[in-house]
Structure 1
Amino acid sequence: MSDNKKNTPKFTFSSFWLYIPILIILLGLSFFNSGNLGSRNISKNEFTKILEANDIQKIVVENNNVAQIYLKPEAEKKEEHKKLAESPFFRKGSPLYSYNFGDLQNFENEIEKEKKENNLDFDKVNIERTSMMDTLISFLPFILLIAIWLFFMRRMSGAAGGGGAGGQIFNIGKSKAKLFDENTKVKTTFKNVAGLEGAKEEVQEIVDFLKSPEKYTKLGGKIPKGALLVGPPGTGKTLLAKAVAGEAGVPFFSLSGSDFVEMFVGVGASRVRDLFKQAQQKSPSIIFIDEIDAIGRARGKNSMTGGNDERENTLNQLLTEMDGFGTDTNVIVLAATNRADVLDKALMRAGRFDRQIYVDLPDLHERREIFNVHIKPLKLAENVNLEFLAQQTPGFSGADIANLCNEAALIAARKGKNAIEHQDFLDAVDRIVGGLEKKNKVITPKEKKVIAFHEAGHATVSWMLEHAAPLVKVTIVPRGQSLGAAWYLPEERKIVQTEQMLDEMCATMGGRAAEKLMFNKISTGALSDLEKVTKQARAMVTVYGLNDKVGNITYYDSSGNDAFVKPYSDATAQKIDEEISEIIENQYKRAIDILDENRDKLTELAELLLEKEVIFKDDLVKIFGDRPFGKEEEKTETTTEE
């Protein structure tokens, strides 16, 4: 019984219900106020007969076209009138008959003539009467316009303002933040956040302050106003903010930067005021603004907007609330963004966002921890090697790893397996990085041979160079937009030396070098290779100062203010172009020399690739022997060729 009561939907009152009884009352009044409900329309002959019998007490002419005929009391008892007079719809004192006479002048002349000839004693009155329904019908267009206007205002206010049933227009300036408090607790804690050890250590102090502020205030310390989480997409900034709320156990207001933006002027600033007002009422509390760059962009950069820009007004109000008068309330603002470079300097200063916490892409150890979190709901086979998977996924964010685990589960289910095997995870990596396999793509034998030697050239050069990343897997099966793909195993570096960059460029040019050496022709398949080495060479010369002729100079501006300014002369530009070209051509010649020395092994590797379509590191060991450079292999990276 109690379960049924719980499942019964609660009664909710709507203001639209008030219109129903009002409409019923109006119809009732119109119905009962009509004096001729029980009357009957009569013809001219019937009217003449009643007139000559002197049964009429009074004639009321309405609107110059209808005569309402009232009979004498004794006449109502006559047999011909008795049935109508005793009808339940007929009321005493109401007209029993109505007669539509047509022309008023003729009618008046007729009854005057009859009155004189037959000595009749009835009265005649002319009146103008309008019914309530006629009045309503005349006002119907205005009523419809008002109803349509109210409908759209409610829809606009409901979409923009929220706040209560129907979303009244007056609530448009209310905050749209979602509140998590003791009734709707955030269940995410730091245990659910794998990796991010440095970031968790930073925000742990904020949690400690909210739990026991006297520990800091007794020494004269003040609560930090805000913390800005900065980092690439998918690294866990929003997840970290939720964990702070879950650990602190205080009211948590969550919203996006775009929630402040509205078509109405002044709404954004009003919502900021209302948000901080609510947060102060529930202090200590946390405000989390995701994607704050939607309102926090630097002011005055766009000359097309005027001084009354709505986004700038919203930002100004946010600056005032974060560091205005009366800042003794325990309200901490957490914000997240991928574009810290575009934020206004006034927003970034100490006293507003006291701390900027960089949430970087996970390293090898952190990726292993993230895998351990995301494999918990999965049914894994015994051969799954998480350590190897962590090595195979360099540059993957937490969101990418979550997608990888889900993709592996889908691949295993598609194959009808009862558990997810290690190969399913590797296939998922290939699927995410390289794209979907296109085994039905039409490739001629000649093209396939060129692709095989191209990929074999990459593998051979990288295997022979000390600082180049060794091969893990090569395929000539078309995948995504590429016709072939190669997976490598670079070591994890914090800094890169000149020799390391040159070896990587040489290995990248190994594909085109193999085409030139074996066929004495080159193709368009090296597009991505050329793009990569050109960027590397330009960075060596203009950014890192690794070129002897240009010198220890960098033309890189981290502030991003050199977009329309060339920071060097035309002579220097020519020198930069020459040095970039020379670096690339030298590595291209170096790759050709290495492949020429190992032409037989290159041919053997390409033929094996044509036969199997996919080869692995073990196949290279059988052909070339062990690499002469004993380096610890820590993580993998993928490159593709078109």
Structure 2
Amino acid sequence: MAKKKNTPQKGGFNFYWIYGIVAVVIFMLMLTSSGGTGKKISENDFKQLAENGLVKKLIIISNTESAEVYLKHDKIEDVRNLKTEWKNLKKQKDTPFAQSGPDFYFQTPPRESFDNTIKDLKVSLAEKGADYELNTEYEVRHDYFSEVLSWLFLPAILIFFWIFMMRRMGGGAGGGAGGAGGIFSIGKSKATVFEKGKGTNITFKDVAGLEGAKEEVEEIVDFLKHPKKYTDLGAKIPKGALLVGPPGTGKTLLAKAVAGEAQVPFFSLSGSDFVEMFVGVGASRVRDLFKQAKEKAPSIIFIDEIDAIGRARGKNANMGSNDERENTLNQLLTEMDGFGTNSGVIILAATNRADVLDSALMRAGRFDRQIYVDMPDLNERKEIFQVHLKPIKLEKELDVDFLSRQTPGFSGADIANLCNEAALIAARKKKKAVSKQDFLDAVDRIVGGLEKKNKIITKEEKQTIAYHEAGHATTSWLLEHASPLVKVTIVPRGKSLGAAWYLPEERQITTTEQLLDEMCSALGGRAAEQIMFGKISTGALSDLEKVTKQAYAMVSIYGLSEKLGNISYYDSQGNQSFTKPYSEERARLIDEEVSLMIENQYRRAVKILTENKDKLIKLAEELLVNEVIFKDNLIQIFGKRFWDKEEETLIHADPVEVKDEISELEKDINLDDTETDSKDQDTAGSTESASGKKD
């Protein structure tokens, strides 16, 4: 059957025309009711006009204590000669459009007094032998229009205010599905609809890296464009795809690319859009969303931050109460794969908390695919840099490989921020192009914070900081598995009084020896204070926090303790948030093993620094003089690390900092924030790929 042509609909009657017509009618009524009021004069002026025989008629309005004066227009010249302010008085023409109102008006005294005045005036005219008699009339007038308007004014204001509030609560006149119904449309979906890519100009070409994730969503788009090659083989398109990954990795960007490429209606909204103060609104909005999507099928629904409504049921604090969020989730589960059909609607969702989602939401048939969007590796960071460097005016021969190597652990959002920060720094320096040094300064700014050269630090404090940072640099340089040093500084940045940055390997798994070397290097700062001054300070707080989390992860998560053996108490589902999965005796054993592990590495750091005390002192003195030292300075003092590969020497003379963030290994201590068991080894590997350390 041939499809009907889509003819453009004629514009309907606009309700605002009624408002305009009513306003015009009211204005005309006001003009006609008021008529021409004439010019205001005094009572003495009226007497002068009457005594000169110029008044044709006087109308006395009793209820308003006023009088209207009508002149003899054949004697208008005589009227003009009486007073200068009447010179411009014009003679009215006898036409249908002539003014019907009085020429003058004035306020009268009380009725009895004014009646006496009129009598005296008539007697005076008679005594003078005037050839006319003053014609007077009495009237009682009511301005019904003004009276009715005064009664209707307040109710009209209240009605307009009510209409305005109802439209605002319904999303406004142009607020989509919720606009026309006012308060009754509060249960309508708030989704933004992109019709066939309109409204977004992002495509898969704009998404750098993420090759695996892109391939998954591109297949969904390809099915919508060419369904026959799949259906001929009996294949069915996945009903839903869940994008999972850390913040800033490009989950929402992938969804925008799908909206730009799919050429089908794309409904976009956030998980929080379903949450409302009224009971039942969330479930109602879910029903309305899927109703709209089915009407425009094939279509795609994208729910960003789905964990706002998709959290596991039965874990809320208000036990026994009616949970609106759970009702919304139940309706979503039914719409995605319930008793009714839901053909032609594909669900995309994004979250960085997949561990807290309900298991019914994650099953096959609802979200058939879970697409993990991980932090970009070296090659992917290079592609992301190339995308974000396009709009920036760069100096010639800027090495993108160099930038990608110096940013391990950076997400796509971090790289975008880095490029923008470098451009801002170049503009601040009034440069015409962004140089390599600007990017290095931007890394310093993002990683360490704003430089504070004017911060007041005593001589003793500065010396302690210098030896502390020199201790880190020395231990990391002399330990085989510690990350190679990039830069050490005692210039305060952000909350740090000094900092040391490293360039770790990008490896996928981490051994016990590597973790212990990293732990020993982190304790080198406190060990240097103990050796040089015989006392320790609070400056090692961040070091102690890092090694404590690492040690507990090694013992209780990764099974790297000989006493406890191959046991892991890692809870990927977060079901043991309030209980310990081991006995008090085992808890004591874990604490003892952690304490022993940390103290052993501290004694190891003390031993290394004691054996190389002369080099430690030389390095600290150079820090006190120059405030910043680089890898080349350590080579001059300690010589080359014989286990370093030539290609690992990434830094020569340029000051470079790399991103400093809490490693994924440390994040695993927070059981609520962990991912799945299958990611354990990858998480361990990312311990070394996180950049350096700050104190």
Q: Are residues 1:355 and 2:369 paired?
A: yes
Match of 1:536 in 2: 550
CA distance 1:581–1:182, shift in 2 (3 Å): closer
Tell me the equivalent position of 2:161.
Answer: 148
Instruction: Find the counterpart in structure 1 of residue 19 from structure 2.
Output: 19
Distance 1:254 1:99, change over 3 A: closer
In the alignment, is residue 638 of structure 1 matched against residue 652 of structure 2? no
Question: Which of 411, 419, 428 is residue 405 of structure 1 equivalent to?
Answer: 419
- Residue 275 of structure 1 and its aligned partner are, at CA, apart by 2.6
Q: Distance in 1 between matches of 2:263 and 2:151?
A: 61
Distance 2:197 2:215 in 1: 28
Please state how far the C-alpha of 1:229 moved relative to its aligned partner.
0.2
Shift of the 450–13 alpha-carbon distance from structure 1 to 2, 3 Å rule, reads farther
The letter of the residue matching 1:152 is M
Specify which of 572, 580, 596 is matched with residue 566 of structure 1.
Answer: 580
Q: TM-score, normalised by structure 2?
A: 0.76
Query: Which residue does 1:368 correspond to in 2?
Result: 382
1:497 to 511, 532, 536: 511
Letter matched to residue 435 of structure 2: E
Q: 1:150 to 1:275 in 2, by over 3 A?
A: same
Partners of 1:287 and 1:334 within 8 A in 2: yes
Could you tell me how far apart the structure 2 residues matched to 1:508 and 1:31 are? Answer: 89
Residue 401 of structure 2 corresponds to which residue in structure 1?
387
Residue 595 of structure 2 corresponds to residue 581 of structure 1: yes
AA partner of residue 435 (structure 1): G
Q: Which moved more, 1:368-377 or 1:21-30?
A: 21-30
Give the letter aligned to residue 390 of structure 1: S
The root-mean-square deviation of aligned C-alpha atoms, in Å, is 4.3
Aligned 1:440-455 pairs, distance under 5 A:
440-455=454-469
Does residue 619 (structure 1) correspond to residue 633 (structure 2)? The answer is yes
- Matched-pair contact (CA < 8 Å) for 1:207–1:248: yes
Q: What is the CA-CA distance between 1:450 and the residue it aligns to? A: 1.4
Kept after mapping to 1: 8 A contact 2:265/2:296 = yes
The structural deviation recorded for 1:362 is 0.7
Q: Offset at 1:278?
A: 2.7
Equivalent residue number for residue 334 of structure 2: 320
CA deviations on 1:263-318 (whole Å, 9 max, x unpaired) are: 44444333333332332233222221111122222333224387554433333332
Q: Which one is further off, 551-560 or 319-328? A: 319-328
Residues 1:600 and 2:602 aligned together = no
Give the aligned length.
609
Distance in 2, Cα, partners of 1:23 & 1:186: 42
Matches of 2:463 and 2:249 in 1, distance apart?
41
Amino acid across the alignment from 1:495: I
Match of 1:196 among 210, 232, 241: 210
After TM superposition, give the deviation of residue 617 of structure 1 in Å.
1.2
Say if 2:193 and 2:265, in contact at 8 Å, map to a contact too: yes
Q: Contact (CA 8 Å) 1:161, 1:172: kept in 2 or not?
A: no
Matches within 5 A, 1:128-139: 131-139=144-152
- Residue 56 of structure 1 aligns with which residue? none
Distance 1:484 1:530 in 2: 16
Q: CA deviation at 1:161?
A: 8.3
Q: Which amino acid aligns with 1:143?
A: A
Equivalents in 2 of 1:569, 1:264: separation in Å?
A: 45
2:473 pairs, out of 456, 459, 466, with 459
1:72 alignment partner in structure 2: none
Cα 1:219/1:625, change in 2 over 3 Å: same
Q: Identify unmatched segments of 5+ residues in structure 1.
A: 1-10, 47-58, 70-75, 108-124
SS state of the match for residue 638, structure 1?
Answer: coil
Q: Deviations over 1:220-242 (max 9, x none)?
A: 22221110001111100011122
Among candidates 299, 302, 305, match of residue 288 of structure 1 = 302
Structure 2: gaps spanning 5 or more residues: 1-10, 47-58, 80-90, 116-137, 651-687
Distance 1:525 1:470 in 2: 22
**Cα deviation, residue 60, structure 1:** 13
Within a 5 Å distance, the mapping from 1:403-482 to structure 2 comes to 403-482=417-496
Amino acid at match of 1:623: I
**For 1:333, what is the secondary structure of its paired residue?**
strand
Q: Is the 8 A contact 1:173 1:270 kept in 2?
A: yes
**2:172, 2:179 within 8 Å by CA — same for their partners in 1?**
no
Q: 1:130–1:305: structure 2 CA closer, same or farther, 3 Å change rule?
A: farther
Q: Kindly tell me: are residues 219 and 470 of structure 1, through their superposed partners in 2, closer, same or farther at Cα, counting changes over 3 Å?
A: same
Q: For 1:89-113, what per-residue CA distance to the aligned partner results, in whole angstroms no more than 9, with x for missing partners?
A: 659xx9xx99999899xx9xxxxxx
Cα deviation for residue 398 of structure 1 reads 0.4
**Distance across 1 between alignment mates of 2:441 and 2:466:** 21
The equivalences for 1:115-134 within 5 A come to 131-134=144-147
